[in-house]
Amino acid sequence: MAGASPIPFFAAGREFEAHRDAFLLTLEKCITSPTLILGENVRTLEERFAQSCGSAHGVGVASGTDALLLALKGLGIGEGDEVITVANTAVATVAAIRMAGATPVFVDVDRDTLLMDTTKLAGVITKKTKAIIPVHLFGNAVPMDTILAIGKPKKLLIIEDCAQAYGTLYQGKPVGSFGDIGCFSFYPTKNLGAWGDGGMCVTNDGALADKIRSLRMYGFGKERISEDEGVNSRLDELQAAILLEKLKRFPEDLQKRRAIAKKYDEALALRLRSGQGGSPRKTLETTKGAEHSYHLYVIWAEDRAKVQQTFKDAGIVTLMHYAFPIHTMPAYAFLGYKKGDLPITEEACDHILSIPLFPYLTEEEVGRIGDALGSI
């Protein structure tokens, strides 16, 4: 559309402007409080967030990566252990496994959802396998009943990577509440995002929660003596205060995400029904029994470069999540994987494209994105 303003992939400032007075009051209260680290805001957020996830305990940490790392360390996973996950994820998932000293083992993804292919899971379990990290990517849910059915009889620990899936349900339950522990990210672009880094572990295991609280603070016991080798991974009061303010509006924002996604679905469906479609296909299905939270809206484009150009010409920013599979990255060459080992993961990296979707898109912008979807 000639002369139209560009549509960003994400714009944090829009939420601030929409709720400026509430945010400024929150900031003032926090900055003038006597405690800026691990104070009342963090404790309140831990309680309310865990409750919203159907879990008894929450532990705030410095990032989503640290949530995974401390979950692994808290469960005693380290050197010599194997942890099964996917290569179609943010590098953070694999980085956390390596930071814990364990070895990541990859399983390919399902073609329709691009989530862990559970039919291939049993084939990569060995005597060294200690845990499975299913990644609830894009806001969709991995079929957790299948993961549990495979993993629990073998006494494997289940760590849910929910960085992109706050608000997602599976069989009526929040993701993060199925396994031994759920790990969330509050990176600014997430469904519930801070104004910097932050993360949370949720669990029903009180002893595990206490262990992670200790590990996030140098492994301190009651006397501030390090009883275990811990780290400095604290969620600060400022971020917790902002998150508490955002949490009030989260149900409304989640509904906006779903409503926008529905309009995009309709635009693509209309294109395909017209008989003119064929280049892009919305092939990413929602897992049966899941309620998608649409952290990202991802299409499969046979000719991605052409589709990207169409969006660029319309002034719409698009991104790729993810353009490079982790098992082919130089940093992880030592794991011994080669191109062709995870064929669907690799194929997807050549075709996926993420379209702007966040609650503060205007109706006009959503309409323009829908028009672009209908024209490609």
The reply to whether 262 and 325 lie within a common domain is yes
Residue 279 pLDDT exceeds 80: no
pLDDT value of residue 164 = 98
The pLDDT assigned to 282 comes to: 61
CA dihedral 164, 168, 171, 174 (to 10 degrees): 90
232 strand-pairing partners: 217
Q: How many structural domains comprise the chain?
A: 2
For residues 165 and 218, membership in a common domain is answered with yes
Q: Is residue 97 classed as helix, strand or coil in its secondary structure?
A: helix
149 Cβ neighbours under 8 A, 6+ residues apart: none
Residue 99 domain-assigned?
A: yes
Q: Say whether both 215 and 266 belong to one domain.
A: no
Q: In this structure, are 240 and 288 located in the same domain?
A: no
Assign 280 a pLDDT band (cuts: 50, 70, 90): low
* pLDDT in the model for residue 4: 81
Does residue 93 lie in a domain region?
Answer: yes
Averaged confidence pLDDT in the chain: 95
Q: Are residues 74 and 201 in the same domain?
A: yes
pLDDT for the residue numbered 222: 84
- Beta bridge pairs of residue 170: 173, 290
Segment 288-304, tens digit of pLDDT: 999 999 999 999 998 99
169 forms bridges with which residues in the sheet?
Answer: 174, 291
**Three-point CA angle 281, 286, 291, nearest 5°:** 140
Q: Do 122 and 148 fall into the same domain?
A: yes
5 in any annotated domain:
no
Of all residues in the chain, the percent with pLDDT exceeding 70 is 96
What's the average model confidence in pLDDT over 192-199?
98
Q: Are 234 and 258 in a shared domain?
A: no
Q: Which helix (H) or strand (E) holds 352?
A: strand 352-355
**Cβ-Cβ contacts under 8 Å for 45 (sequence gap 6 or more):** 58, 60, 200, 235, 240, 243, 244, 247
The answer to whether residue 3 sits within a structural domain is: no
pLDDT at 278 over 70: no
Q: Are residues 228 and 288 in the same domain?
A: no
Last residue of a domain, one of 214, 244, 274: 244
Does 288 lie in the same domain as 329? yes
Q: Are residues 118 and 254 in the same domain?
A: no
Whether 18 maps to a domain, the answer reads yes
Amino acid at 239: Q
- 38 vs 47: CA distance, rounded Å: 13
In the prediction, which pLDDT does 273 show?
62
Encode pLDDT of 146-169 as tens digits: 999 999 999 999 999 999 999 999
Residue 365's domain is classified under what CATH number? 3.90.1150.10
Domain end, chosen from 244, 275, 297, is at: 244
Mean pLDDT of 188-212: 98
Determine the average pLDDT of the residues in 220-243: 95
pLDDT average, residue stretch 323-346: 97
In the predicted model, is pLDDT for residue 29 greater than 70? Answer: yes
Contact 183, 67 (CB under 8 A): yes
Residue 35 confidence (pLDDT) above 60: yes
pTM: 0.97
**In terms of domains, do 162 and 119 share one?**
yes
Q: What are 209's two structure tokens?
A: 């929660």
Joined tokens for residue 359: 């609650």
pLDDT for the residue 374: 87
Q: Is residue 7 part of a domain?
A: no
* Boundary (domain end) residue, out of 244, 278, 294: 244
Residue 269 pLDDT:
85
The runs of H, that is alpha helices, within the chain are 12-18, 20-31, 40-52, 64-74, 91-99, 144-151, 206-215, 237-273, 304-313, 343-349, 363-375
The pLDDT score that the predictor gives to residue 375 is 86
Looking at residues 334-339, what average pLDDT do you find? 97
2 found inside a domain: no
**284 and 361: one domain?**
yes
Residue 268 has pLDDT above 70, yes or no: yes
Letter for the amino acid at 291?
A: E
- For residue 127, pLDDT beyond 90: yes
Answer whether residue 1 is part of any domain: no
CATH number of the domain at 135, please: 3.40.640.10
Q: Cα 339–342–346 angle (5° rounding)?
A: 70
Residues in the chain: 376
- The boundaries of the domain holding residue 321 are 250-375
Residue 281 confidence class, pLDDT cut points 50, 70, 90? low
**The one-letter amino acid at 310:** T
List Cα–Cα distances, 1 to 270, 279, 337, 362, in angstroms: 21, 21, 45, 15
